[in-house]
C-alpha cells in the first residue's frame, strides 16, 4: 500500500461565511467558495481538469458544472455523511497522486436552512428502514456517550458538565475571533452548564449549530506547486474507517470511544510518519458536533490518555495558546455543521494556520496540522482523518 505523503499540494482555498444564509442558494455558495480558491491559487478555471463535489442533499455534479460553467470536465459527486467534504478532498487527492490529473478542484456544500425545520433533518440522507423512531436530531446519539462516560470513569454530572462547558467556552472564544463563523460571541462556563437540556445530559451549548456553507480547495501535483505559490501546503496522510455497527451488535463496545477515529488516525499517522501525535501535531480541527464528541476525540487521537480528557481540558491544553490548539476557528460549535462543507472548512483553517494567515487566531509557526470528521453515531461511525503540513 502506498502513502499519499507529499504527493499532493493545496495551492488555493476558499470558504464562505457559515450561517443561516437565507439569501444564498447552494449554487451561490459553491461559486463564492470557488472564486476565493481560484484567486488564492492564482489560477483560472480553465486550468482545472476535474472536480469532486461533496454534498449529502439532492445536488449533483451537474449543479456544480452549471454554476461554475465548467467546460465538459469530469465532475463527481461524493457522499460520506459528516465526512463528505473530506471525501471530496480525498478522492481528488488520489486522482492527482495517480498522475491522472495535474490540477483538480475539491469542494463541499450543504444548504440545510431550506428544509423548513430547526435541527438537522436526517431523513433525506439516511436510507432508513422507515420504521425507525422519530429522532431526527443527532444529539441523542452522543448523549448516550456522555452518560456512559460519567459511569465508566466515575465522573459526576457536575464534573462532566464543567469539562464540557470549558470545551464550548474555548470554541466560542475562538469563533469570536473569526468573521466567517456562524456564532461570533463568547459564552461563559455558567451559561453552558445551565443551558436548557436538549438531550440529557447534553444542553444547548453542548451542541453545534445548524447552518449553510461551502468550502473549496484547489489541488495540484506537489512537483508543480511551486509554479503557483511558495507557501503551498502538502497533504501528509489521509485515513478513512467505516464502522459496521459493531457497537450496536456487540456488548463489548464501551460507548466511550469511537473505534473509527482510532482506525482512521492510524492510517493517516502511518502515512505521515507520525509516532507521537500530541507532541508532533501543532493544531487540529476535530468533529465537535457535540462537546462530548470533542472530549472523546482527544483520547481517540492520542492527544491525551483515556479518561484523562477532563484534566487536560482543565489545564487549557487545547486552547488557542495551549500545547495543541483544537478547533482554532471555533469548530462546528461556532460554524455549525453543513455536512458536505465541514471537512473542507476545517482544512481551510489549518491551511491558513500553516501559512501564517489565521489573523488573531494565528498559532506560532505551526508545521503539522490535522483535521477530523466523525459521521453517524458512536456504535457505528465514519471516521476520517487528514494530516497536512508546511512544505520543507
Partner 1 sequence: MVGIISYGAYIPIHRVTPETEGWEAPYEKATAHFDEDSITMAVAAAIDCLRESKREDIDGLYFASTTSPYKEKLAATTVATAADLRSEILTSDCTNSLRAGTTAVRMALDAVKAGSAKQMLVTAADCRMGYPRGTFDRNFGDGAAALLIGEENVIATIEATYSVSDEILDVWRMDTNKYVHAWEDRWVADMGYNRVVPLAAREILKKSNLTIADISKAVFYGQDQRKHAQMAKMLGLKPEQVQNPMFGTVGNTGAAFSLMMLVAALEEAAAGDRILCVSYGNGADAFLLEVTDAIAAVKGRRTIKQNLGTKMVVGSYEKYLSYRHMSAGEDEGNYTSIPEWPSASCIFRERDAIYRLHGGKCNVCGTVQYPPQRICTKCRSADNFSSLRLSDKKAKLFTYSIDSIAEAPAYALPLVDCIIDFEGGGRANFMMTDVNPKDVKVGMTVEMSFRKIATAGNIHNYAWKCVPFRGVSREETK
- The residues annotated with a catalytic role in the active site are 82, 337
Segment 239 to 298, residues that bind partner 1, using CB under 8 A: 244-246, 248-251, 253, 255
Stretch that binds partner 1, among 86-94, 130-138, 182-190, 382-390 (CB under 8 A): 130-138
* Integer CA distances (angstroms), 99 to 95, 96, 266, in order: 7, 5, 26
Lookup: cell for 334? 461556532
Choices 36-44, 117-125, 305-313, 350-358 (CB under 8 A): range interacting with partner 1: 117-125
Q: How far is the CB of 145 from partner 1 (least distance, A)?
A: 7
Q: How far, CA to CA in Å, does 142 sit from each of 9, 227, 348, 362, 388? A: 35, 46, 26, 31, 28
Alpha-carbon distance values, 109 to 55, 175, 192, 337 (Å): 6, 20, 29, 10
**One residue of 65, 73, 137, 262 binding partner 1 per CB under 8 A:** 137
Under the binding rule (CB under 8 A), the answer on residue 159 touching partner 1 is no
Q: Using CB under 8 A, which of 213, 366, 379, 389 touches partner 1?
A: 379
Nearer to partner 1, 70 or 332 (CB): 332
DSSP character for 196? P
| Residues in binding contact with partner 1, number by CB under 8 A | 41
Distance from C-alpha of 255 to C-alpha of 241, rounded to nearest angstrom? 17
Q: Which is nearer to partner 1, 100 or 117 (CB)?
A: 117
Cβ atoms of 319 and 89 closer than 8 Å: no
Report the distance separating Cα 244 and Cα 275, nearest Å: 27
Cβ(346)–Cβ(174) under 8 Å? no
Using the contact rule CB under 8 A, the part of the chain among 50-58, 76-84, 93-101, 122-130 near partner 1 is 122-130
Nearer to partner 1, 7 or 144 (CB): 144
Residue among 180, 2, 24 nearest 98 (CA):
2
Question: Which stretch in 88-96, 146-154, 217-225, 268-276 sits in contact with partner 1 by CB under 8 A?
Answer: 146-154
Site for partner 1 in 169-228 (CB under 8 A): 196-202
Q: E strand or H helix at 294, and its extent?
A: helix 291-300
Pick between residue 145 and residue 358 the one whose CB is nearest to partner 1.
145
Q: Measure the CA–CA gap between 217 and 38, rounded to whole angstroms.
A: 9
Contact residue for partner 1 among 39, 42, 60, 132 (CB under 8 A) = 132
Cα separation, 369 vs 365, in Å, equals 11
Distance of closest approach, residue 226 Cβ to partner 1, in angstroms: 48
Cβ proximity to partner 1: between 200 and 359 the closer is: 200
Residue 136 or 356: the one with the smaller Cβ distance to partner 1 is 136
Distance in Å, CB of 96 to partner 1, minimum: 35
Cβ-contact 352, 315 below 8 angstroms:
no
Which one of residues 44, 133, 230, 276 is an interface residue with partner 1 (CB under 8 A)? 133
128 versus 279: smaller Cβ distance to partner 1? 128
**Which residues from 97-116 bind partner 1, rule CB under 8 A?**
none
Planar angle of CA 17, 93, 235, nearest 5 degrees = 80
The residues in 12-71 that bind partner 1, with binding defined as CB under 8 A, are none
Between 65 and 198, name the residue whose CB sits nearer to partner 1. 198
Task: Identify the residue among 26, 33, 112, 145 touching partner 1 (CB under 8 A).
Answer: 145
Could you tell me the strand order of the sheet in which 368-377 lies? 75-78, 50-54, 103-110, 213-221, 8-15, 233-242, 380-390, 368-377, 283-285, 325-326
Q: How far apart are the first and last CA of the chain?
A: 24
Beta bridge partners of 376: 381
Smallest gap from Cβ 152 to partner 1, in A, equals: 9
Q: CA 60, CA 128: separation in Å to the nearest integer? A: 21
Residues in contact with partner 1 by CB under 8 A are 117, 119, 123, 128-137, 139-148, 151, 196-202, 244-246, 248-251, 253, 255, 379
Amino acid at each position: 500500500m502506498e502513502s499519499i505523503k507529499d504527493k499532493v499540494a493545496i495551492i488555493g482555498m476558499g470558504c464562505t461565511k457559515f450561517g443561516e444564509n437565507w439569501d444564498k442558494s447552494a449554487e451561490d455558495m459553491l461559486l463564492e467558495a470557488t472564486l476565493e480558491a481560484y484567486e488564492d491559487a492564482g489560477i483560472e478555471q480553465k486550468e482545472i481538469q476535474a472536480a469532486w463535489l461533496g454534498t449529502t442533499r439532492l445536488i449533483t455534479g451537474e449543479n456544480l458544472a452549471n454554476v461554475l460553467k465548467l467546460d465538459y470536465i469530469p465532475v463527481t459527486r461524493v457522499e460520506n455523511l459528516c465526512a463528505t467534504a473530506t471525501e471530496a478532498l480525498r478522492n481528488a487527492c488520489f486522482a492527482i497522486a495517480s498522475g491522472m490529473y495535474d490540477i483538480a478542484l475539491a469542494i463541499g456544500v450543504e444548504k440545510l436552512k431550506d428544509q423548513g425545520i430547526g435541527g438537522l433533518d436526517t431523513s433525506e440522507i439516511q436510507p432508513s428502514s422507515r420504521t425507525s423512531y422519530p429522532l431526527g436530531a443527532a444529539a441523542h446519539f452522543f448523549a448516550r456517550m456522555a452518560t456512559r462516560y460519567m459511569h465508566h470513569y466515575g465522573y459526576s454530572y457536575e464534573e462532566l458538565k464543567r469539562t464540557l462547558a470549558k470545551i464550548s467556552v474555548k470554541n466560542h472564544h475562538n469563533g469570536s475571533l473569526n468573521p466567517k463563523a456562524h456564532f461570533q460571541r463568547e459564552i461563559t462556563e455558567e451559561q453552558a452548564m445551565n443551558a436548557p437540556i436538549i438531550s440529557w445530559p447534553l444542553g444547548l451549548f453542548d451542541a453545534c449549530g445548524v447552518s449553510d456553507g461551502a468550502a473549496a480547495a484547489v489541488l495540484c501535483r506537489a512537483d508543480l506547486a511551486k509554479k503557483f505559490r511558495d507557501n503551498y501546503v502538502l497533504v501528509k496522510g489521509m485515513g478513512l474507517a467505516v464502522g459496521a455497527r459493531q457497537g450496536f451488535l456487540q456488548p463489548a463496545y464501551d460507548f466511550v470511544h469511537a473505534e473509527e477515529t482510532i482506525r482512521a488516525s492510524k492510517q493517516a499517522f502511518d502515512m505521515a510518519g507520525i509516532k507521537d501525535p500530541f507532541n508532533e501535531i501543532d493544531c487540529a480541527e476535530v468533529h465537535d458536533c457535540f462537546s462530548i464528541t470533542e472530549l472523546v476525540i482527544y483520547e481517540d487521537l492520542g492527544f491525551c490518555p483515556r479518561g484523562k480528557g477532563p484534566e487536560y481540558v482543565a489545564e487549557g491544553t487545547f486552547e488557542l495558546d495551549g500545547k495543541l490548539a483544537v478547533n482554532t476557528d471555533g469548530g462546528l460549535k461556532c460554524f455549525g455543521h453543513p455536512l458536505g462543507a465541514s471537512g473542507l472548512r476545517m482544512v481551510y483553517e489549518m491551511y491558513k494556520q500553516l501559512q501564517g494567515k489565521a489573523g488573531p487566531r494565528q498559532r506560532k509557526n505551526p508545521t503539522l496540522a490535522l483535521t477530523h470528521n466523525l459521521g453517524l453515531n458512536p456504535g457505528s461511525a465514519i471516521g476520517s482523518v487528514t494530516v497536512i503540513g508546511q512544505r520543507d
